[in-house]
């Protein structure tokens, strides 16, 4: 695992190689793209990935995405990860998701659950690859003197269950 380091300039917009392009679009198309995502680039990428069936993104099943001086683990949202105790996968587009932990679950508990799940996953499967990649990222971060693992809270809005009237 690469250590998290400060890079000069703007953080990466996408978790894969990209480049700036200039494109001229009709105003109505721009409005529709902005209804998909407020950022035109993300709107274009989102539609392109939907079209090609981005359930399997091109890229690693688990990896690190940097933003500023921080980084997060991004994963392909596989059932093996969803089944881990306390894990919620938060989709971020492009067939990728953030790992969120429900209280009272902790990062050490996640690492142990991932390692246990690796032992039960079918050898060579995409699920096993994802679990092994997450376990490796967590182990390397835990053992790295230059990295600290921090838990953060995300805000999730859920619909309230409506009570039935008698």
Task: Quote the percentage of the chain above a pLDDT of 70.
Answer: 83
> Per the domain annotation, does 90 fall within a domain?
yes
Query: According to the model, what pLDDT value does residue 2 have?
Result: 47
> Per the domain annotation, does 118 fall within a domain?
yes
> Per the domain annotation, does 80 fall within a domain?
yes
> Per the domain annotation, does 99 fall within a domain?
yes
89 neighbors 75 (Cβ within 8 angstroms)? yes
Query: According to the model, what pLDDT value does residue 137 have?
Result: 94
The residue with tokens 């921080």 is 70
Range from 8-12, 68-72, 87-91 carrying the lowest mean pLDDT: 8-12
Q: What's the whole-number mean pLDDT along residues 54-77?
A: 77
Q: Is the pLDDT of residue 101 over 70?
A: yes
Assign 100 to helix, strand or coil: strand
Highest-pLDDT range among 2-11, 83-92, 119-128: 83-92
> Per the domain annotation, does 119 fall within a domain?
yes
H or E stretch including 140?
helix 126-143
> Per the domain annotation, does 96 fall within a domain?
yes
149 neighbors 139 (Cβ within 8 angstroms)? no
Query: According to the model, what pLDDT value does residue 142 have?
Result: 93
> Per the domain annotation, does 164 fall within a domain?
no
Q: Give per-residue pLDDT as tens, 109-121.
A: 999 999 999 998 8
Exposure string (b/e) for 126-142, b if CB count within 10 Å is 16 or more?
A: ebbbbbbbbbebbeebe
Max alpha carbon distance in the chain (Å)?
A: 62
Q: Is the pLDDT of residue 58 over 60?
A: no
What is the number of domains present in the chain? Answer: 1
Closest CA to 98 of 106, 88, 108: 88
Structural domain including 68 reads: 56-143
Q: What's the whole-number mean pLDDT along residues 138-150?
A: 92
């Amino acid at each position: 695992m690469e250590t998290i380091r400060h890079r000069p300039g703007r953080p990466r917009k996408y978790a894969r190689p990209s480049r700036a392009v200039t494109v001229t679009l009709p105003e109505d198309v721009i409005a529709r793209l902005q209804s998909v995502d407020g950022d035109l680039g993300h709107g274009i990428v989102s539609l392109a990935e939907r079209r090609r069936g981005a359930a399997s993104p091109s890229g690693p099943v688990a990896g690190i995405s940097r933003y500023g001086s921080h980084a997060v683990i991004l994963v392909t949202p596989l059932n093996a990860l969803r089944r881990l105790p306390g894990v919620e996968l938060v989709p971020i587009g492009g067939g990728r998701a953030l790992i969120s932990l429900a209280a009272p679950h902790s990062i050490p508990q996640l690492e142990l659950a991932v390692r246990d799940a690796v032992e039960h996953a079918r050898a060579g499967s995409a699920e096993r690859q994802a679990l092994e990649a997450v376990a490796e990222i967590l182990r390397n971060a835990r053992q790295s003197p230059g990295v600290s693992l921090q838990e953060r809270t995300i805000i999730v809005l859920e619909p309230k269950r409506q009570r039935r009237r008698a």
